Chain A
Amino acid sequence: MENGLNAYKKLLENPYNPIYFSFLFFLVFILVVYIIYLKVIVPLKKKHENEKKKLEIDNLRIIGAFSESDPNPIIRTNIKGDIIHFNKSAYNLFGIKQDGKINLHKIFPELNYDFQKEIENGSNLQTDLTFGGKHFSVYFYGIKTLSMARIYFIDYTERINNEQRIIESEQKYRALTFYLQDHLETEKERIGLELHDSIGQNLYLVKMKLNSCNDCDAFNRSLIEVNSTLDSTIAELREILFNLKPKVLEDLGVFDAVTVLSENLSKNFSVNGTVEYIGNPVRLERKAELYLFRIIQESISNILRHSKATEYHIQFVFSKKLIKVLISDNGVGFEPESVSQYKSYGLLNMSERIKVLNGRMKITSSDEDGTVLLFELPYEAI
Chain B
Amino acid sequence: MINIRIIICDDHTLFRNGLASLLRDQPGIYVIGEAVDGKDLIKKYEDLNPDVILVDISMPGLSGTDAVKELKLKHPNLKALFLTMLKGDQYIYFTLKVGGLGLVNKSIERGELVFAINEVSRGRKYFGSQYDEEKINGILKKYEHKPINIEPNINDEITDIEDKILLLISDGLTSVEIGEEMNLSKKTIDSHRMKIMRKFELPNSSSLIRFAMKYTESKSK
Interface residues of A (CB under 8 A from B): 196-197, 200-205, 207-209, 211-212, 214, 230-231, 234, 238, 247-248, 250-252, 256, 259-260, 263, 276-280, 313, 315, 317, 319-320, 324, 326, 328-330, 362, 364, 369-370, 372, 374
Contact = CB atoms under 8 A, between A and B. Distances in A.
B93 to A, nearest CB: 9
B211 to A, nearest CB: 10
A330 B203 CA distance: 11
A133 to B, nearest CB: 45
A372 B14 CA distance: 49
Contact residues on B (Cβ < 8 Å of other chain), bracket: 35 or more
Nearest to A312: B206
B85 A238 contact: yes
B90 to A, nearest CB: 5
B111 to A, nearest CB: 8
A371 B127 CA distance: 39
Contacts of B220: 319-320
B130 interface: no
A251 B15 CA distance: 21
Interface of chain A: mostly helix, strand, loop or mixed: helix
Contact of A208 (B22, B63, B172, B205): B22
Contact of A211 (B85, B109, B217): B109
Nearest to A230: B107
Interface string B122-148: 000000000000000000000000111
B110 interface: yes
A248 B22 CA distance: 28
A372 B209 contact: yes
Contacts of B146: 276-277
Most chain A CB neighbours (cut-off 10 Å) among B25, B107, B174: B107
A372 B85 CA distance: 35
A207 B206 contact: no
Interface string B182-221: 0000000000000000000000111101100110011010
Contacts of A208: 15, 18-19, 22, 110
Nearest to A370: B206
B67 to A, nearest CB: 13
A251 B94 contact: yes
B206 A328 contact: yes
A205 B209 contact: no
Contacts of A277: 146-148
Contact of B18 (A197, A209, A252, A324): A209
Contact of A326 (B63, B86, B109, B210): B210
A329 to B, nearest CB: 7
A202 B85 CA distance: 13
B68 to A, nearest CB: 13
B31 to A, nearest CB: 14
A320 B65 CA distance: 27
B57 interface: yes
Interface string B15-27: 1001101100100
21 contacts: A205-B18, A208-B110, A211-B22, A211-B109, A212-B22, A231-B107, A234-B85, A234-B107, A248-B88, A248-B90, A252-B94, A263-B88, A276-B146, A278-B213, A279-B147, A315-B213, A317-B213, A320-B220, A326-B210, A326-B213, A370-B206
